[in-house]
Amino acid sequence: MKKNFLLISAHDYRSRRKANVHFIADELAKRGTIRFFSLRFSEITRFRPDPRHDLYDRANKVETINGVDCYLWKTPVHAFNTRVKALRPVENLLFRIYQSAAPDIFKTWIQEATTIIFESGYAIIFFDLVEQLNPEAETIYLASDAMKTINSASYPDAILQRVAPDLTSVSVPSRLLRDEFPMSARVFYTPHGIDPAIKDQADPTPYTAELNAVSVGSMLFDRELIRSAAELRPDITFHVIGSGDTWLSERPGNVLVYDEMPHRETLRYIKHATFGIAPYRGEAPYYLADTSMKLMQYELFGLPTICPQNVVGGNAMRIGYDAADRDSVNKAMLAAIAMPHIAKRRFLTWGDVTDRLLTPEHYEDTAVV
């Protein structure tokens, strides 16, 4: 029987910034029909950082890219976390209205799917709609992050806790995330993967300076850490890619800020850097030591990396710092500059990851203990 997959996410397959769902979608396209439904996008989104801004005029219509059917659902407004407890009733009402407005194409894709994957976040609010329209479909929750890490509203989190035992499976990229779900949920461990071929796609060097540090991505981005490091080491050029922070004229002169760029282009900056930076803010969750894709990519290229102490995770390629202690930051940079570039760990491919996501019971290493 040919599989028909539906992946529901706040990402869009066509975005330049790549997350795990993009690579999983590529693998699913090899196994059957794959639809990628992107939600939580509205006129409000235009006033906040979002990697889907350049897709604004391509919203609300189906577009097929690389064998993946894409649909970016744009609404006048979308439900969101107001972060004000007194507004919780209004917030919950917004979510119910948003649920009820699900477009016909989404309902059709639900009805035709054999496997439906809810990426962590707001996607799970449509679980009841899936149960109503297609109760026979396999349902998988892909827990890229904990709800509190992505500042989720209480409404989707409450739904997740209620329906987790009814899901076919829950996939976590770190065993440390097991406690985020009820004990009756069927939780399996599926770490992020990486495409080993990217090591051959990262030339030539984009650098002209002798010493270069690179930071990629916007999650919990700590601007002040970059500022402090740049002031401490004016001889190093700091390349900040896709941070969602313009910085304009106030940044130190040795900090270069780049907009989102194609994933392949970032690889050149990673491979040829002197060291990497994972400048997560102080509230960075403990499980990032296992799940940070930027740290995984740095490690694939054997790139020494500085990061907060709580995400070192015993990894020999990472040097921890205390962002509040400038001396600590400086020592971490000195150690990273002196460290040899050696790739040691073997990672799963995205094909391996997708196999474990779809049939976790077939693999001993997916057990969560």
Q: Which of 86, 60, 79 is nearest to 71 (CA)?
A: 60
Q: Strands, DSSP E only, in the chain?
A: 3-9, 32-42, 63-65, 68-75, 115-119, 138-142, 169-172, 187-189, 212-216, 237-241, 255-258, 275-277, 305-308, 318-321
- Two structure tokens written together for 245: 């922070």
Residue 164 or 46, more confident: 164
Cβ-based neighbours of 141, under 8 Å, separated by 6 or more:
117, 118, 120, 124, 160, 164, 167, 169, 170, 171
Q: What is the pLDDT of residues 307-339, one digit of tens each?
A: 999 999 989 999 999 999 999 999 999 999 999
Asked if residues 293 and 19 have their Cβ atoms less than 8 Å apart, the reply is yes
pTM of the predicted model as reported, rounded to 2 decimal places: 0.87
Q: What is the pLDDT of residues 159-187, one digit of tens each?
A: 999 999 999 999 999 999 999 999 999 99
φ and ψ at residue 113, rounded to 5 degrees: -80, 145
Cα–Cα distance measured from residue 173 to residue 163, given in angstroms and rounded to the nearest whole number: 20
Q: What is the pLDDT of residues 83-101, one digit of tens each?
A: 778 888 889 999 999 999 9
What pLDDT is recorded for position 88?
86
Identify the residue whose tokens are 């330049």: 16
Mean pLDDT, residues 241-270? 88
Which whole-number Å values give the CA distances from 247 to 15, 219, 257, in the listed order? 23, 16, 8
Asked if residues 3 and 114 have their Cβ atoms less than 8 Å apart, the reply is yes
Cα–Cα distance measured from residue 174 to residue 237, given in angstroms and rounded to the nearest whole number: 33
Q: How confident is the model at residue 50 (pLDDT cuts 50, 70, 90)?
A: confident
Domains for the chain: give ranges and CATH numbers.
Answer: 3-193+350-366 (3.40.50.11010), 196-338 (3.40.50.2000)
Identify the residue whose tokens are 């740095």: 298
Angle between helix axes 223-232 and 326-338 (nearest 10 degrees) is 70
For a pLDDT cut of 90, what percent of the chain falls above it? 79
How many helices, marked H, and strands, marked E, lie in the chain? 11, 14
Does the pLDDT of residue 16 top 80, yes or no?
yes
What pLDDT is recorded for position 343?
86
Asked if residues 191 and 173 have their Cβ atoms less than 8 Å apart, the reply is yes
* Range of weakest confidence among 144-148, 192-196, 255-259: 144-148
Does the pLDDT of residue 248 top 70, yes or no?
no
What pLDDT is recorded for position 185?
97
Rounded to an integer, what is the distance from CA 94 to the centroid of its chain?
A: 25
Q: How confident is the model at residue 230 (pLDDT cuts 50, 70, 90)?
A: very high
Does the pLDDT of residue 247 top 80, yes or no?
no
Residue 25's SS3 state is helix
DSSP code string of 147-171: TTTTT--HHHHHHHHHHGGGSSEEE
Identify the residue whose tokens are 């992946």: 7
CA dihedral 319, 323, 329, 333 (to 10 degrees): 50
Identify the residue whose tokens are 């439900």: 79
Tell me how long the chain is: 369
Query: Any idea which residues carry the catalytic annotation?
Result: 145
Mean pLDDT, residues 195-220? 93
Mean pLDDT, residues 44-56? 87
Per-chain mean pLDDT for the chain:
94
